[in-house]
Amino acid sequence: MKQKSICIPKILKNISYILVPILITIIVASIISVIFVEKNDRSIIYANSYYETLSFKEDYLKSIQRKFNFVAGKEFEGGFTDTQETNINGKNGTIYYNTSVEGNFVYLIINKKEGIATTNLEHTMQTDNISELIQSINENSNHWNYANGEVDTNFTNLKMNNIKYDSTFNAITGTDFEVYTALLNNLPYNDDYSTNEILYNLMIKTYKMAPVIITVSLIALAICLALILKGIGISKNETEISLNWFDRWKLEIVLLIGIISICIGTFIFAMAVQIPIRTILALGVAVAIFVIYVTLIIMLETIVKRLKSHTLLKTTIIYSIFKGAKSIIDNRNITIKLILFYGLFCILGFFFTARMLQTRHAFIYAIFLLSLGFLSFWYLFCKLREFEKIREALKSIYEGNTNISLNPNEQKGVLKELSIYIQDIAGGLSNAVNQSLKSERLKTELITNVSHDIKTPLTSIINYVDLLKKEKMPNEKCTEYLMILDNKSQRLKRLTEDLVEASKASSGNIKLKMEQIDVVELVKQVSGEFEDKFKERKLEEIMTLPETPIIITADGRYLYRVLENIYSNVAKYAMENTRVYLDVISQKKSVVIQMKNISQEKLNISADELMQRFVRGEASRNTEGSGLGLSIASSLTELQGGKFHIYLDGDLFKVTIGFERKL
């Protein structure tokens, strides 16, 4: 059988629930003892028992006085329950039994002159006469008697010397009365004497140590409360707060049930304290405290769980009503929402304005009106901020940045839906761009790998063709075939070299050696290289160059290749017997190399398409070009920090290359 895992926080929480009422009882008892002693009776500190305190002395004398006044006919306490004829002071008399008032204080008061005796002892066969009543009273450990001018008592503070100046005692002396009183052993009834004795025993034990007890108990109570709060909702191997069926009830219903339970417990407590029998009183008080404490625990548990799981407000009836109303509004289009909100604003504004004009408390309604205006402004301001975030996200997507920081959870209503749509669009564009880049990278790698694979056998073919050219061919036909083979192999070699160079240029896998270069001298050098080719096609080059050197920062080798590709393109595709214009335009912070010519074939494609790989400016595609020249030139220019543009206007073909000028 798998052993159940132990949840330490839960165990500590349950232990704390047991300790909390104990600690609260100790703290309350200690505080009561200090307050009672300091403000009422400091004799408690020096007394050996409750019966030696001044408060007991005062209470006991008041009890004697109350009973004496009743017997003397000065006060009425209650009706007699029984009477008994007996001998009192040598003559016929009557004993009146008054057991309607229960308590721990028992008495027998004798009016010898009138032959009347009253007592609250029960009338039995052992209490039929005065001597039996006196004996029954004196059987109790604590008694006080006055007869024949003498006091007989075991109460230290109630002896003759301590009460001879007391008004109660003076009222008894000099009369024909005898007074016999006592407290029942063990104080079986719940009255002031039993309560005060319990308080005394508690106070005398806690008073001297009260500061230490209160401090330690408060610290322990704080620790217990912390353990309770930490342990609520925690379960073993669970990261989320554990909620039960009661935690999902509406909070208002839970609070109502809790209040009713506490009221029931309070009612039980109030009824119990009125019961004179101590055991029943203790049981009733215990039940009441248990009901109240368990109710408080359940209320605390469910409220803390809701707070930890962030569901306190969501489980209220008010929140449900609000969400329902909000759902009704949210399901309407934005125009209806605007009408509803603006209509509510106008109604409230009209109400506050009207009340402000009709009442003397105009200032209060003015405050409400200003608050309404401020809240409306704040609501519109927040919506505007949400709209600005959406606008910035759209701008980023428009500029090509799909990594937007737009959180739909920060928006509400229609703007939240719009944020979700934009985020999905950005994600889709990002995936498309990534797929495009991946496809382009794979294409480049494929071209590079194939070019390298072709290069090895092609080198062997060229070498064997060179060897055959040195040999004597058997006839002219073989010589012709050999020349064709040589021409095609050399063309294939140039194509593979262009492919490798194009892949390196587009991927940026080129090491540049940036240096200062004179553009004018470089252009003259390239122009000289193509002078013969231009003459073959009867192309006249017209150059416009600055008289002073123009210095830029670039890689001379690759910039030469850019210009070479442009001249090569003109030499292949320019119309014969036309002019070719080359201008080097010097500006304040930049320099532009511009070349223009008339195309031999009709240009039926766009400038962007012309710069793509394997595209040529003539439709027949029967020239020896690879269609990579302009693409390579564009990539190499951008790698060096320049700008490469092609312009087409009818049959006019124009190329511009721009670089920052070195001042």
- Lowest mean pLDDT across 186-200, 485-499, 638-652: 485-499
- Return the pLDDT at 499: 61
- Lowest mean pLDDT across 279-283, 332-336, 350-354, 606-610: 332-336
Q: Is residue 309 a contact partner of residue 241, using CB atoms and an 8 Å limit?
A: yes
Q: Which CATH number fits domain 433-509: 1.10.260, 1.10.287, 3.40.50, 1.10.3470?
A: 1.10.287
Most confident of 137-141, 342-346, 470-474: 137-141
In single-letter form, the type of residue at position 3 comes to Q
Residue 611 has pLDDT above 70, yes or no: no
Q: Is residue 110 a contact partner of residue 178, using CB atoms and an 8 Å limit?
A: yes
Residue 437 has pLDDT above 70, yes or no: no
Residue 502 CB partners (closer than 8 Å, separation 6+): 447, 613, 628, 631, 632, 635
Task: Kindly report whether the global pTM for this prediction surpasses the value 0.75.
Answer: no
Q: Which two tokens stand for residue 609?
A: 């398409």
Q: Residue 507 belongs to what H/E stretch? A: helix 476-507
- Return the pLDDT at 57: 84
* Alpha-carbon span 532 to 478, nearest angstrom: 31
Percent helix, strand and coil across the chain, each to the nearest 5: 60, 15, 25
Q: Is 584 helix (H, G, I), strand (E, B) or coil?
A: strand
- Lowest mean pLDDT across 5-14, 298-307, 586-595, 603-612: 603-612
Q: How confident is the model at residue 336 (pLDDT cuts 50, 70, 90)?
A: low
Q: How far is CA 375 from CA 231, 371, 384, in A?
A: 40, 6, 14
Orientation of helix 317-330 relative to helix 334-358, angle to 10°: 120
Residue 304 has pLDDT above 80, yes or no: yes
* Alpha-carbon span 415 to 142, nearest angstrom: 86
Residue 451 has pLDDT above 90, yes or no: no
Residue 333 has pLDDT above 60, yes or no: no
User: Where do the domains of the chain lie?
Assistant: 41-189, 332-397, 433-509, 511-660
* Alpha-carbon span 473 to 245, nearest angstrom: 102
Q: How confident is the model at residue 618 (pLDDT cuts 50, 70, 90)?
A: very low
Residue 338 CB partners (closer than 8 Å, separation 6+): none
- Lowest mean pLDDT across 131-145, 387-401, 602-616: 602-616
| Of the candidates 282, 65, 329, the residue with the CA atom closest to the CA atom of residue 173 | 65
Q: How far is CA 502 from CA 357, 626, 655, in A?
A: 83, 11, 19
* Alpha-carbon span 500 to 507, nearest angstrom: 11
Q: Which CATH number fits domain 511-660: 3.40.1350.10, 3.30.565.10, 2.40.50.100, 3.40.50.1820?
A: 3.30.565.10
In single-letter form, the type of residue at position 4 comes to K
Q: Is residue 634 a contact partner of residue 644, using CB atoms and an 8 Å limit?
A: yes
* Alpha-carbon span 349 to 347, nearest angstrom: 5
513 compared with 472, residue with greater pLDDT: 513
* Alpha-carbon span 232 to 300, nearest angstrom: 9
Q: Which two tokens stand for residue 271?
A: 């009824």
- Return the pLDDT at 238: 61
Percent of the chain whose predicted confidence (pLDDT) is above 90:
5
Residue 609 has pLDDT above 70, yes or no: no
Residue 593 CB partners (closer than 8 Å, separation 6+): 519, 523, 563, 582, 583, 584, 585, 656, 657, 658
- Cross-strand bridge partners of residue 652: 598, 649
Average the pLDDT over 515-529 and give the result: 90
Orientation of helix 251-272 relative to helix 278-308, angle to 10°: 170
Instruction: Write the DSSP symbol of residue 409.
Output: G
- Return the pLDDT at 76: 41
pLDDT in tens, 552-590: 888 888 888 888 888 988 888 889 999 999 999 888 888
Q: How confident is the model at residue 42 (pLDDT cuts 50, 70, 90)?
A: low
Q: Is 8 helix (H, G, I), strand (E, B) or coil?
A: helix
Phi/psi at 216 (nearest 5 deg)? -65, -40
615 compared with 294, residue with greater pLDDT: 294
Residue 621 has pLDDT above 50, yes or no: no
Instruction: For the chain, state the CA radius of gyration.
Output: 56
Q: How confident is the model at residue 419 (pLDDT cuts 50, 70, 90)?
A: confident
Q: Is 567 exposed, middle or buried (0-12, 13-18, 19+ CB in 10 A)?
A: buried
Mean pLDDT of the chain: 77
- Return the pLDDT at 581: 94
* Alpha-carbon span 32 to 26, nearest angstrom: 10
Residue 224 has pLDDT above 80, yes or no: yes
- Residue with tokens 């925690």, as numbered in its chain: 234
Q: Where are the alpha helices (DSSP H) in 359-412?
A: 362-398
Q: How confident is the model at residue 620 (pLDDT cuts 50, 70, 90)?
A: very low
Q: How far is CA 106 from CA 94, 116, 136, in A?
A: 18, 17, 10
Residue 642 CB partners (closer than 8 Å, separation 6+): 554, 657, 658, 659
* Alpha-carbon span 85 to 261, nearest angstrom: 55
| 513 CA to centre of own chain | 55
Q: Residue 116 belongs to what H/E stretch? A: strand 116-119
Q: Is 301 helix (H, G, I), strand (E, B) or coil?
A: helix
Q: Is 145 helix (H, G, I), strand (E, B) or coil?
A: strand
* Alpha-carbon span 166 to 75, nearest angstrom: 20
74 compared with 152, residue with greater pLDDT: 152
- Return the pLDDT at 656: 92
320 compared with 408, residue with greater pLDDT: 320
Q: Residues of 237-246 as b/e, b for ≥16 C-beta within 10 angstroms?
A: eeeebebeee
Average the pLDDT over 177-185 and give the result: 89
* Alpha-carbon span 627 to 616, nearest angstrom: 5
* Alpha-carbon span 46 to 53, nearest angstrom: 8
Q: Is residue 652 a contact partner of residue 518, using CB atoms and an 8 Å limit?
A: no
Residue 378 CB partners (closer than 8 Å, separation 6+): none
